[in-house]
Amino acid sequence: MAMQQKFTTRVIVTEGDIRKMTMATRPDTLEDLLSWLKDCLQTNYSFALQYQDPEFNNEFCNLTHVSELPEKPTIKIIPTFELVPVTTSLNLSSDSVSLADTEILSVSSERSSQWPEEFEIPKFPVDVEFRLRQGNLLYFKDGVCLKVTKELKHAILEKLAETMYSFKPYPAKEEFESVAKALVQAHPCLKEQGSSSGWDAWKNSLQFKMGNYRTKMRQLGRLDVSVNGGKRGRYSTSDEPPNKAIKKPKKGEINFLPDYPEGMDDHNLEEARQVLVNEMMKRKPNGSTVKKEMDVTFALRRKEVVKDKPAISQMMHRWPAIFTESQVFQEFSRVVGKSLKDNFFDALDRFSPSFMDLFRKKGGLTGQLLAALLCQAKTTEPTDIRCLCLRGLPVILGDDPSAFFKTSNDLADKDLYSQTAVGLLCFEEENPQLNPGRVGIILEGNIVMDDLANLPLAFCILFGLIYALHLEYPKYMKNTFCFVQQVMLNLGKKELPPKIQTLKNQLSV
């Protein structure tokens, strides 16, 4: 029997890793060749093979059988990944890119968390990670930065855009900066020479890539970005006006405009809404049924409040469950991803001692108003202290609490609150109390809830309703609500208006 010849091949692992490898005998099957390569390369990922075909001027072709290989072939390793198929075709760039290109993965129709305090750079495709690892080793050894090719940059930016979109579709300037900075810190070989920060160009590229990524998501029909589609230039021949009213989260909403649940449409969700309305007509609605139908119809409800902006009276008719205490808190959690009740009262109790000290130190007219409130605080019960802080907060921020806190002993006295856009109605038989025994919530001149146990709870629920119904903060209490949002609940923009920043600094002393 003739001795079988050794099998010598040139293997391209990556652009920077090309090896000459020899097998004792020529493999009989493609599986044998793959197994041998995995053992020699010690890879922990799956890959396919391409080879240079002499019949086509040595262009690479997919290898399907070892008989296709010439005597001394050149083989290229192609990492493979399990990707979620995209059902809608995309108008992607025709630029040639390697298989390191990241595909658009399926993105959950609802987001689950806020933008992180420190952005964690995701794992890139295997060949990209390998090149970055080699680049980092060379950077630490010789201080040489990696020369970033077009395909490498594309793969990095695409993966970063996908990760950023999972938190929010419209990142702010400081968030782009945080991602670019984190990228260079995680992979120092990507640092830019000639840039004061080392990541300015990465930030600019991320902004462009994020815009392109939103376009792809818009083509896939994602509501949170497709709502802003249809912008037209001044030379457009269309009769429709340009879409200038850009709708995007302003108060830290992570689910500003989520997609419908898979397999559901307007007809299905309208049927679910009617089931919910029928359940709320019962004397004792089933809590689990209400929660289930509210979860299912969340996207429809958000579409109505964001795009249609219905009147409060219409919302009370179509969505009565949202005006219940439990569902206000549930809806806030759906929109923001946080527990309103826990976070609100934890923050209020944490700031209370500092508020009390600040109230006592204030002078002038503001000090007189705060002194009058302090005199009404007859006990040190937690509820009374919370009331005092919430009554004094608008005073110290220069808001107009008289337009917000209404007092009455007659619910039928509509003249008192018919012109109030957002407010609390305190029901009191005799003299005004710091903490009335019964409190109602006013929205657009309507009493939407009227039997809440105390003022702090009513204030908390009202804040939740503002998010649930996508309402603007009233001008006469804007500073107060912004303080609750940005300082107490840590939602939305990190940059604070001067008055709120000053108060935060005083409370932190």
What is the model's pLDDT at position 64?
Answer: 87
Residues 357 and 490 reside in one and the same domain: yes
The answer on 312 and 352 residing in a single domain is no
Average pLDDT of the residues of the chain: 86
Same domain, yes or no, for 411 and 504?
Answer: yes
Helix 150-165 to helix 200-219 angle (10° resolution) is 70
| Statement to judge: residues 420 and 487 lie in one domain | yes
Report the SS3 class of residue 440.
Answer: strand
Write down the pLDDT at residue 232: 56
Q: What residues have CB less than 8 Å from 23, skipping those under 6 apart?
A: 6, 7, 8, 9, 33, 36
120-146 CB burial, b ≥16 within 10 A, e <16: ebeebbbbbebbbeebbeebeeeeeeb
What's the whole-model pTM score? 0.75
Q: Are strands 74-79 and 7-14 parallel, antiparallel or unpaired?
A: parallel
C-alpha to C-alpha distance for 212 and 218, rounded to whole angstroms: 10
Domain region containing 319: 266-327
- Co-location of 359 and 458 in the same domain: yes
Q: Is residue 116 part of a domain?
A: no
Task: Express each pLDDT in 289-303 by its tens digit.
Answer: 999 999 999 999 999
Tell me, yes or no, whether 316 and 344 share the same domain: no
Q: Are residues 367 and 304 in the same domain?
A: no
Q: Is residue 253 part of a domain?
A: no
Res 102: pLDDT: 40
pLDDT level of residue 55 (50, 70, 90 thresholds): confident
**DSSP assignment letter at 453:** S
Q: What is the pLDDT of residue 342?
A: 95
Answer yes or no: is 30 within a domain.
yes
Distance in angstroms (rounded) separating the CA atoms of residues 368 and 16: 74
- Whether residues 291 and 214 fall in one domain: no
Residues 462 and 353 occupy one common structural domain? yes
- pLDDT (tens digit, 9 = 90+) per residue, 430-443? 556 788 888 999 99
Q: Would you state the pLDDT for residue 44? A: 66
